[in-house]
């Protein structure tokens, strides 16, 4: 995994972030994940369920690389204030039941960190009776995970530092960055 230029730090609100994964690292891995999805779900017309807001950039790339003729739907939850989860998951937008019932659902997350979001959301999704659920996350922080989550595909296993970019935010900022950065004060 190539490391990004250490000189290009970014400032978001009160915090500084240092490069961690380059756009090229991410692009290469997302392409592989798309190909893996293509093989796993060959012959299916899945529903891609995108967890807003964080997963919108990853999902846009992953869906195109998977080359499967599926439908897209969106879910929106939130729980983070600054760099910490509040532990309480708020549901702002629920999935469309008709796009889940009897369908192969590809649930697209940007990150599984504490696991609280998936712990709260997966039972709600299962209650809508999908044919199958394939959980894909770009990033996974196993050392930060508090509750167990069954993840089917992981882009990068990363250390327990707060990250931004490629859809992920710090208090709303940083989602537009093409690369991924880690919180500088963690080093």
**Any alpha helices (H) in the chain, and if so which ranges?**
23-40, 56-66, 116-126
Residue 20: which residues within 8 A CB-CB, separation 6 or more? 3, 4, 158, 163, 179, 180, 181, 182
Q: Of 47 and 114, which has the nearer Cβ to Mg ion?
A: 114
Q: Of 49 and 55, which has the nearer Cβ to ligand HPA?
A: 55
Q: Is 168 in the site for ligand HPA (CB under 6 A)?
A: yes
Coil/strand/helix, residue 171: coil
List, in sequence order, every residue forming a beta bridge with 51; answer none if it has no partner: 75
Choose the one of ligand HPA, ligand PRP, Mg ion, none that binds residue 15, judging by a C-beta under 5 to 8 angstroms depending on kind. Answer: none
d(CA 119, CA 121): 6
Binding mask 63-102 for Mg ion (x = CB under 5 A): -----------------x----------------------
d(CA 136, CA 124): 17
- Name which position in 22, 29, 36, 80 contacts ligand HPA (CB under 6 A): 80
Q: State the nearest-atom distance from the C-beta of 134 to ligand HPA, in Å.
A: 21
Touching ligand PRP, residues 114-173 (CB under 6 A): 114-117, 169
Touching ligand PRP, residues 79-98 (CB under 6 A): 79-80, 85
The residues annotated as belonging to the active site are: 113
User: Which tokens is 133 given?
Assistant: 């659920």
Options 33-41, 57-65, 147-155, 160-168: segment touching ligand HPA (CB under 6 A)? 160-168
d(CA 7, CA 18): 8
- The CA–CA distances, whole Å, from 123 to 3, 28, 51, 86, 147 equal 37, 32, 15, 20, 14
Q: Of 62 and 100, which has the nearer Cβ to ligand HPA?
A: 62
Q: Is 12 in the site for ligand HPA (CB under 6 A)?
A: no
Q: Is 73 in the site for ligand HPA (CB under 6 A)?
A: no
The footprint of ligand PRP (CB under 6 A) covers 51, 53-54, 78-80, 85, 109-117, 169
């Amino acid at each position: 995994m190539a490391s990004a230029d250490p000189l290009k730090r970014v400032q978001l609100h009160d915090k500084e972030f240092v490069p961690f994964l380059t756009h090229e690292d991410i692009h290469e891995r997302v392409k592989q994940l798309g190909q893996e999805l293509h093989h796993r779900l060959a012959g299916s017309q899945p529903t891609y369920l995108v967890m807003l807001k964080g997963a919108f950039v990853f999902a846009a790339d992953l869906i195109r690389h998977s080359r499967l003729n599926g439908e897209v739907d969106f879910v929106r939850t939130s729980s983070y204030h600054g760099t910490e989860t509040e532990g309480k998951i708020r549901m702002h937008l629920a999935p469309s039941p008709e796009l889940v019932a009897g369908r192969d659902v590809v649930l697209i997350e940007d990150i599984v960190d504490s696991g609280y979001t998936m712990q709260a959301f997966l039972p709600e999704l299962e209650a809508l009776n999908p044919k199958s659920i394939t959980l894909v996350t770009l990033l996974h922080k196993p050392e930060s995970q508090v509750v167990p989550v069954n993840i089917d595909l992981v882009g990068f296993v990363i250390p327990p530092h707060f990250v931004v970019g490629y859809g992920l935010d710090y208090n709303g900022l940083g989602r537009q960055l093409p690369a991924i950065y880690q919180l500088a004060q963690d080093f």
